[in-house]
Chain A
Amino acid sequence: MDIASLLNCLADPGCMAGQIISGIIIAMVLFLVASGLSLILGVLGLLNFAHGSLYMIGAYFTYTVMASIGNFGVALILAPIGVGICGVILERFFIKRVYGLDALYQLLMTYAFILIFDDVVKFIWGIFDLSIRMPSLFRRPPVTAIGTIVPFYYLFLIVVGVLLVVAIWLFLSKTKYGKIINAAASDPEMLMCLGINVPFVYTIVFGLGSLLAGVGGALACPLRAITPGMGFAVIIESFVIVVIGGMGSILGTFVVALMFGLMRSFGILGFPFFELAFIYVFMAVVLIVRPAGLFGKVRI
Chain B
Amino acid sequence: MLQVEDIHTYYGTSYIIQGLTLEVKDGEVVCLIGRNGAGKTTTLRSIMGLAPPQRGLIKFKGEEITGKAPFSIVRMGIGYVPEDRRIFPDLTARDNFEIARRGNSRKSSGGWTIEKIYEFFPKLRELEDHKGTEMSGGEQQMLAIARSLMGNPDLLLVDEPTQGLAPLIIESFVELIKSLKQEMSILLVEQNASFAFSVSNRGYVIDKGKILYHGSIDDLRENKEVHDRYLAV
Asked if A192 meets B99 with Cβ closer than 8 Å, knowing A182-B88, A183-B88, the reply is: no
With an 8 A cutoff between CB atoms, is A127 at the interface? no
Q: Do the beta carbons of B148 and A194 come within 8 Å of each other?
A: yes
Q: Do the beta carbons of A195 and B100 come within 8 Å of each other?
A: yes
Count A interface residues, CB 8 Å: 18
Identity of the chain A residue whose Cβ is nearest the Cβ of B81 in the assembled complex? A193
Q: Which DSSP category, helix, strand, loop or mixed, fits chain A's interface?
A: helix
Cβ of A183: which chain B residues have Cβ within 8 Å of it?
Answer: 88, 91, 99
Interface bracket on B: 20 to 34
- CB < 8 Å neighbour of B99 from A189, A196, A197: A196
Q: Do the beta carbons of B71 and A196 come within 8 Å of each other?
A: yes
Q: Do the beta carbons of B89 and A186 come within 8 Å of each other?
A: yes
- The A176-192 residues at the B interface (CB cut-off 8 A) are 176, 179-180, 182-183, 186-187, 189-192
Q: Do the beta carbons of A190 and B88 come within 8 Å of each other?
A: yes
Cβ of A192: which chain B residues have Cβ within 8 Å of it?
Answer: 50, 69-71, 74
- The B62-102 residues at the A interface (CB cut-off 8 A) are 69-71, 74-75, 80, 82, 86, 88-91, 95, 98-100, 102
Bound form: Cα–Cα A193–B102 in Å: 12
Q: Do the beta carbons of A193 and B70 come within 8 Å of each other?
A: yes
Bound form: Cα–Cα A182–B95 in Å: 11
Q: Do the beta carbons of A179 and B80 come within 8 Å of each other?
A: no
With an 8 A cutoff between CB atoms, is B8 at the interface? no
Q: Do the beta carbons of A193 and B91 come within 8 Å of each other?
A: no
Cβ of A194: which chain B residues have Cβ within 8 Å of it?
Answer: 74, 99-100, 147-148, 150-151
Q: Do the beta carbons of B91 and A179 come within 8 Å of each other?
A: yes
- CB < 8 Å neighbour of A193 from B74, B89, B98: B74
With an 8 A cutoff between CB atoms, is A198 at the interface? yes
Chain B residues at the A interface, C-beta cutoff of 8 Å: 48, 50, 69-71, 74-75, 80, 82, 86, 88-91, 95, 98-100, 102, 147-148, 150-151
Given contacts A186-B90, A193-B70, A195-B151, could you give 15 more A-B pairs where the C-beta distance is less than 8 Å?
A176-B98, A179-B91, A179-B99, A189-B50, A189-B86, A190-B82, A193-B148, A194-B74, A194-B99, A194-B100, A194-B147, A195-B75, A195-B102, A196-B71, A197-B71
Cβ-closest 10 pairs across A and B: A195-B74, A190-B86, A194-B100, A192-B70, A193-B80, A183-B88, A179-B95, A192-B71, A195-B151, A197-B71
Chain A residues at the B interface, C-beta cutoff of 8 Å: 176, 179-180, 182-183, 186-187, 189-199
